[in-house]
Amino acid sequence: MSGYFPVISVDGWLANAAQCPSPNANQRPLGQEINLLVIHNISLPPGEFGTGFVADLFCNQLDPSLHPYFATIADLQVSAHLFIDRLGNVTQFVAFTERAWHAGASVFNNIENCNDYSIGIEMEGCDNIAYTNEQYIALAEVIRQILVAYPKITPERIVGHSDIAPKRKTDPGSAFDWARLHSLLTGE
């Protein structure tokens, strides 16, 4: 991934990322500043990678007949701003300026509805399977650009889904190496 330096446009789209607009988004509350970044994980079917089904889910095109698990989630209307696959490829589903539907019932620093003020990044993975080097490199490069474009997001405001919905969610899980991400972001 060397040489991959994303840039964020004024309308919230990341250059050098594939674009696959999701219908599962809407406007943020008027005047709402973006000040939180939430890291998630997802794989469809669970534990399987490289299937393309995440894009189908985020675009409301998941065929419930293709896997028993899909029948339980096919009617969900969810999205994230970005998805980073196991090879480090980045796909953007929702402009950063819009509200993606990634956090669900959530709270950070006693402020509810994290979707209103956050950016959601889905890593292709599972709680207990190590993420790839390519994913960490891509994630760090994307986050560096997000921090420039949205300075209210500070390193302390980069959290996991489990941090904002601890009774419901466990992602990005024990396999996510927060120290490694910090090192990539700071060079320490």
DSSP class per residue in 83-144:
EE-TT--EEE-S-TTEEES-S-S-EETTEE-GGGTEEEEEEES-TTSPPPHHHHHHHHHHHH
pLDDT digits (tens, 9 = 90+) for 42-66: 999 999 999 999 999 999 999 999 9
CB 96 within 8 A of CB 119: yes
> Which amino acid is residue 140, in one-letter code?
A
pLDDT of residue 45: 98
Residue 141 among the catalytic residues:
no
CB 74 within 8 A of CB 65: no
pLDDT of residue 66: 97
Domain residue spans of the chain: 18-186
Q: Which residues does 158 contact at the CB level (< 8 Å), separation at least 6? A: 37, 39, 143, 181
- pLDDT band, residue 188 (cuts 50/70/90): confident
Is pLDDT above 90 for 180? yes
Distance of CA 53 to the CA centre of its chain: 15
pLDDT of residue 187: 85
Is pLDDT above 60 for 171? yes
Instruction: Return the CATH number of the domain spanning residue range 18-186.
Output: 3.40.80.10
Q: Which of 48, 122, 124, 188 is catalytic?
A: 122
Mean pLDDT of 172-181: 98
Mean pLDDT score of the chain, rounded to an integer? 95
- pLDDT band, residue 2 (cuts 50/70/90): very low
